[in-house]
Amino acid sequence: MIQTFARRALQPQFRSLARFGQSNEEGDVSFLEQVYQYFDKAAALTNIPVDMLNYYKKTDCVIKFHLPLVRDDGTVECIPAFRAQHKTHKLPTKGGTRLSEHIHTEEVEALSLLMTFKNAVLELPYGGAKGGLKMNPKKYSKREIESLMRRFTIELAKRNFIGAAIDVPGPDLGTGEREMSWMKDEYTKFAGHLDINAQGCVTGKAISQGGISGRTESTGLGVFYGCREILEDYEFCTQAGIPAGLRGKSIIIQGYGAVGYYAAKYMCAYGAKLVGVAEWDGSIYEENGIDPDELQAFKEQRKGVKGFPKASEYHEDESVIYKECDIFIPAAFEQTVNRTNAARFNCKVIAEAANGPTTLAAEEILIKKGVKFLPDILLNAGGVTVSYFEWLQNLDHIRPGRMTRRWEETSKYKLLEAIQISTGLRVDVAKNQQAAKLLEGPSAKDLVFTGLEESMAVAVQKTKETASKLNISLRMAAYYNALMTIHQHVDTAGLR
C-alpha cells in the first residue's frame, strides 16, 4: 500500500528533508527554511506519497554565474547572477528578476518555490522560477545596469534559461519595464530570427516593446481585489473582530513602492483609509487619512516619506507599523514579520503583499492574538496573472480587444436603439457624455483589469472553500490547493 503523509505524521525523517537553512539566535529560520516549514505543514494535510512530496519540494535546477562589468571609471567588477527553476512540470517557468545586494542561492530557491505554488493557486500554465543579480542598483549608472541586464540575458540564453517556451522572467525588486525592455531587446537580437515568439521571452516590458496596459498596477490591484473578496466574508471578519467589508477599514503599509502605492490607491478609492506608511527613511502616521496620490507624488520628488507635510507623526524608524489598525500590509521584503517583533503588532488582519513576509514562528504568535492572515501566494498573484495576459498577447501577436472592441460598442448601440424603439424613450448620446462613455467598447486595460478581477475572485473562492471544508487557515488552504493541483498534473502526465 502506498505510504501516505497522514500515516507517517510521527516520522522525523521527512520533517528534516531538504533543509538548508539554519535557525538564527532569535529562533526564526532562514527564508528557505521558512518556506519549507509552510510546505511541510500543508503536506501533512494531504494523502500525497512522501516520495512525491519530496520531489515537489526540491528545486529542479539552480544556476549561478558571474557577469563581468566594466565600470564607468574603467575598473572591472564581477557581479554574481542567479536563476532558479523550481519545477518544470509545466513550461515555461515564470518568475521575477531582482537586483538586490542580499540575493543568494537559497533566496532564489525559496522564491521560485513560492512562484510554483502561486501559479498553481491561480491556475496559470507555468512552473515557478526566480533570479537576479547581487548588486545595489542605486550604486550603478544607467549604462552599467543596462550592460549587466543585456549580458545577463545573453548568459541565460546560452544556457537555455530564457525564452517564451522555456523560462520567462519578469520585473521584481530593483527592476521594472526599463530593465525588462532591455532583456527583450537583447534576446530578440540573439534568437529573434529563429523564434517568432521571441518578444514573449520576458514580461513587464514597456508597452512599445510588447508590454500590456495595466502591468504596472497589477500586483497592487490584485491585493485590492483579494482583500475586497475576502473581507466580504462575514465569518472571516467576525473571527478577526472587524465588521465585514473593506470600506472604512484603516490600513498601514510597509513599503511604498509600486505594490504598496497601488494597493493603497485602489483600496482608498473603494472606501478604506490609509493611516500609516513605513519606508526606508522612516515612517509617517495620520489618523484622519493619507491621500495615496499625494504621498506618491511627494515620494517621487523627495525619494522618501520624511517631511510629508500632511502627516501628524514622523518616526525615524518603522515603528508606525505597530500602531493600531484594521489591516497591516507588508509590501517590502521577506521575513519582516518575525519572532522578534510579532508581539508588537496591533492589527486585526495581515494582508501579505510581499513574498514571504511572515515567519511561521511569528504567525503562531499572532494567531494566538486573533490576527488573521491573507497569504502571499494568493494575495500578491496579480503581477504574474497580468504577466500571463502579456505573454498571451505576445504569442497571439495582437493586443486584447483589437478584434472585438468595435463590435461590442456597435452591439451596445443596437441594443439602445431597440430599447428606444420599444419604449419611445430617447437618449441623445451626442449630447450626453456619460451615456457615450457607457456605450464604449472595453479598452485593453479594461479587459486586463476584469480578467485579473475574475482570476482573483475564483482563486479566493476556491481557497475559502478548502479552508472551510478542512477547517484550516487561508494560508494552509492555498498551499493545499497548490499541492493538489501540482500532484494531479504530475500524476496524470507521469514522470518518465
- What is the side-by-side order of every strand in the sheet holding 61-70? 61-70, 76-85, 127-133, 93-99, 167-171
Instruction: Please give the radius of gyration of the chain, using alpha carbons only, rounded to the nearest integer.
Output: 24
Q: How far is CA 489 from CA 181, 285, 388, 484, in A?
A: 33, 48, 19, 9
Selecting among 94, 118, 130, 348, the annotated active-site residue is 130
3-state secondary structure at position 460: helix
Q: How far apart (Å, rounded) are the C-alpha atoms in residues 120 and 227?
A: 20
Q: How far apart (Å, rounded) are the C-alpha atoms in residues 115 and 134?
A: 20
Single out the residue of 200, 169, 3 nearest to residue 97, CA to CA: 169
Note if 464 is an active site residue: no
Q: State the chain's maximal CA–CA distance in angstroms.
A: 79
Q: How many CB atoms lie within 10 A of CB 454?
A: 12
Q: For residue 149, what is its C-alpha cell?
A: 541586464
User: Tell me, what amino acid is at 81?
Assistant: A
- Please state the three-class secondary structure of 394-448 as a single string: HHHCCCCCCCCHHHHHHHHHHHHHHHHHHHCCCCCHHHCHHHHHHHCCCCHHHHH
Question: Which sequence positions are flagged as catalytic?
Answer: 130
